[in-house]
Structure formats: C-alpha cells, structure tokens
Amino acid sequence: MSAQPKKIIILGGGSAGWMAASLIQKAWADKGTEILLIESDVINKIGVGEGSTPALRLFFNYLGIKEAEWMPACNATYKCGISFPGWTSKDDPAYADFSAYIHPFYSQADWKTGNAFMHNARLRRDGIDVPAHPDDYWLQSYLAKNFKSPIAAQQLRDEMDYGYHFDSALVGNFLKERLLSMGVKHLVDTVDDVTLNNSGEIASLITKANGEQNADIFIDCTGFAARLISKALNVDFVDYSDSLFNDRAVAIQSSIDCTQDIPSQTTSTALSSGWAWNIPLSNRYGNGYVYSSKYITDEEAEKELRAHIGKSCEGYEARVIPMRLGRLTHHWHKNVLAVGLSQGFIEPLEATALMLIQHTVELFISHYEEMFTEQRDTAGQQNIFNSQLNEVFESIKDYIVAHYRLNSRTDSQYWCDNRDNTNNSPRLNALLNAWHTKGGDFEAELTRHNAELTYFAPSWYCLFAGKGHFPTTVTKPEQHIKVAPTAEIINYCQHVSQQFSVHNEQLAKVYGDKWPKSK
C-alpha cells in the first residue's frame, strides 16, 4: 500500500466538497490519486455564513491562487474582525462603556499594544480602575471602525492578518471550475444506494445514471443529511443543544452601494432571541438571524430581522435554515471521512465553518500519510485523528458558549436562560471561575485546559473584557502599580491606521475593471 489512496470519491459539492477536492488534488494528484466528485443537481446547498477566519487566506495561498483571481469571482471583501454590539445590558451602568467590542484578527503589529491590553485587563479584574476596553488596543479595530482594509498602502514591517467576506456558493463554483480544468473528474448524479463490504466499510455507491462507483476512500460532504457517515455507517452524533440553544436561522439579502464606505467587519448584533449577522459583499449585504425556535417563531424572527435591517431588504426573500448543532464522535471512520456540515456544525458566530473544513482535510492528509511512514494500523491512526479533531470542536464550542454565558441582557427570557444555563464543560467552568475570582490565574487555566487550541489568550481576553466582566467597585491605582499608557496607544494606533488603504479603494484595485462603479 502507498501513502496516498488510489481513488477518492467525494460525495457532495458546495464549499465543503470543492475545498476538500482542492486540498487533496494539491497533495496527492501528482502521486497518482484519482479524484471523483459526485454531486446532485437537485439538492440545495446551504450557505449559513459568508465570512472566514484568516485560515482561508492560507488556503488560497497554499493553492497558489491570488486575491485578484478569486475575490472578484466570489464578490469578496476584506474582514478585519467581528463586532459584537448589544450583548450587554442597556440599563446597567456597569456596562455603559461596553455596549460593543470588536474581536480582531491580531498579528505581530499588535504584539506590544495587545500585551498592554491584557496587562490593564488583569489590573481591572483585580478592581483597579484602569482603561481595559479591547477596542483601544488592537489596530484592526481602528481599521474596521474607519472603513479601512487590512492592506497597508506602503509596505510595513509587520503584515496584518485578516479574513474575508464572500459568497460561499460562488467560492464552491470558483474552485469547481478550476479543478475541472485540472482534470478532476465530476459526475452530476444521485446516489440511490450504498453497499458495504464484509468489514462494514463502504464498497461502492450506486448512482442513478452512472451505476456503481468504487473507491478506496469516500468523503462525505452531503451536509446535515450525512448520507455516508451517519446513514450508512451509523456513527453517533454528540448534540450541543443543551449548551447552545439556537437551532434556526433566517437569511435575507439587502442592497449595498459600493460608492459609499464598505465595512471591513462582520457585525453580529444581539436581538431578542439570538443574534443577527451583517456581512458586506461587493454586490450586496448578507444578513441573517440565528435564533432558538423555543423562544421565537420563524415568522416573528423574519419580522424582527427585517425591522433590524431596514428598507434596504425590501423585495428580498427570506430563507429559513434549520440547524443541527453538534459533532460526530468519529469524523474518520472505516473508509469514510466526513467534511463540513456532515461532520458537525457550531453556529456561525465566529465564522469557523470553512476553517473546520480546511483543518479536517489537512489533518486527514497528514494522518493518512503518517499512518504509513510510522507504520501504524488504520484504527489507531483514526483514533488519534478523531481525538484531535473532537478537541478542536470542543474548544470552539467553549468559546462560542462563553459569548452567551457572559451576556448581561435582562430584556428577554432567551438571554436570561442563556446566562443562567449551567451546562458548561469543565474547561469553560474553570475559565469562568478564574476570571471572576480576584487574583485568579486566568492564563494558567487557559494553558492547563488547552483552551488556546483554536483561540489564543488575546481572544479570550477580548471576549471577557469586551463584554465588561469586571468588578463594579474599583479603586485608583497606587503609585507603585505600572499601568499601560492607553492614551499613547490610542494615538499610536490612530497614526498607524492612517497608513492603510480605504476598503473601497483597495477592493477597486484588486477587482480592476470588475469593480462595480455604481449602486
């Protein structure tokens, strides 16, 4: 046997299927692996989110695809971070200065100012009256608030990290056209049956028009249906609904005028029974309301979202999307790898869906090759792989759950129930206790519980500090206590941010003659 499969069948297209095909083609096609992607033309593809983490930039860089090539084809814009307005109480004076904050994509440029923020946040946690709002310390927050791109007009010593906003369906189509031109095989067909061999592995897929299709490895990209991993192999599912209440989303587009300033941030605004996203593309805004059906009906959610968006969504249809939050116990089982919604989903609050697709496939490629170089049996290698991937899911889940536990709203039962819910992991409980205990070593708990697997300490600090979780009684710092110079940092960040291109202007440069000239 070789360190790569002879043939892989990917069942399902969309962003999951074509991202998986892209990574496998890059890694194994020149080593003889045949790739066949089968997708149906009657299944609607779900596009829950249209934002990314900086991982997507690494994805395109790895494939050698320039921004000027893919961004115009996918109506993409730049993303400096995510703004979270409305997650704190409007009536409690303790949260008056924390009505919103930005979770930035920080980089080397933020090293000194970021450490200053965390230093002041530690002091504020101990009841010392010092400035500790994250937006003052991170360069990306200044870029986002001033409609700047994360691209400097002139070369700086430290390059910024950033994500993107995009049309996820167009990303899938872009990758599809690219791969078909590179020889990846493609069938538009429906799978009528799945056959298993004596070992319980998938032997073949029986398609309606093209008959039996065989492979060594099958990749399940069939969305929530999980046609192979769940229905054929009966892999168990770990439900997250006891700690994450939201099970629905309603999505509505709205118009955008590209002659006006285009935001370089996702906005995630807390509403009565969940939160609403607003994502700027080059041709429209993407909007949605992620909510719990136990607290609001689909009709009520649509009405509330339309009122939140305003007139710019008039004439656009609403689409309701059921969501199943959780993960599989085994993402790679026998000869099937689940990728995308088929393997699990954590609501799109931090735009982690494409990152998980990318991470899953890259980790699979690495582990599959290692299985041969280290001469390990398949089951043992799969156990290591599944354990690592499950830990990533759990780490992201804890970060998302923390958003809800730290809310301070009292205007609806939904927010009160989320705050009072005690279905937390031991790790999240330890972090909550450490932060809220005077003298508690928060960073030691992050390390002890491996909480920085997906979100580093600055992100956790932004989350707790951004939602205003500090003592209400504070004292002035004594003379011997060193306080980070916030006023100087603000001046510094304001000065540096002026060296970055206006978002619209940078997009026009990347798009060239494809940039829209008017509304």
**Measured between alpha carbons, how far is 496 from 3 in angstroms, rounded to an integer?**
48
Residue 501: name the closest of 104, 258, 166, 160 by CA: 160
438, 126 contact by CB (below 8 A) = yes
Cross-strand partners of 206: 193, 212
Q: Which residue has 């084809």 as its token pair?
A: 73
Q: Where are the alpha helices (DSSP H) in 130-225?
A: 139-145, 168-181
Q: How many Å apart are CA 50 and CA 249, to the nearest integer?
A: 14
Here the tokens at position 500 are 């970055």
Q: What is the 3-state secondary structure (H, E, C) of 51-99?
A: ECCCHHHHHHHHHCCCHHHHCHHHCCEEECEEECCCCCCCCCHHHCCCC
Whose tokens are 């990290």? That residue is 161
- For the record, the structure tokens of 4 come out as 């790569």
Alpha-carbon distance of 316 to 274, in angstroms, equals 21
Name the active-site residue from 6, 7, 26, 79.
Answer: 79
Q: Which two tokens stand for residue 311?
A: 């007139």
Separation between Cα atoms, residue 201 and residue 191, nearest integer Å: 17
How far, in Å, CA of 503 to CA of 165, rounded? 12
The residue among 447, 407, 415 whose CA lies nearest residue 431 is 447
Beta-sheet strand order (sheet of 318-322) = 102-104, 81-83, 266-271, 274-280, 285-291, 248-254, 318-322
Burial-class residue 277 by CB neighbours within 10 Å (0-12, 13-18, 19+). Answer: buried
Cβ atoms of 511 and 156 within 8 Å: the answer is: no
Rg of the chain on CA atoms, in Å: 24
Q: What does the alpha-carbon distance between residue 150 and residue 264 come to, in Å, rounded to a whole number?
A: 8
Catalytic site includes residue 79: yes
Give the residue numbers marked as catalytic.
79
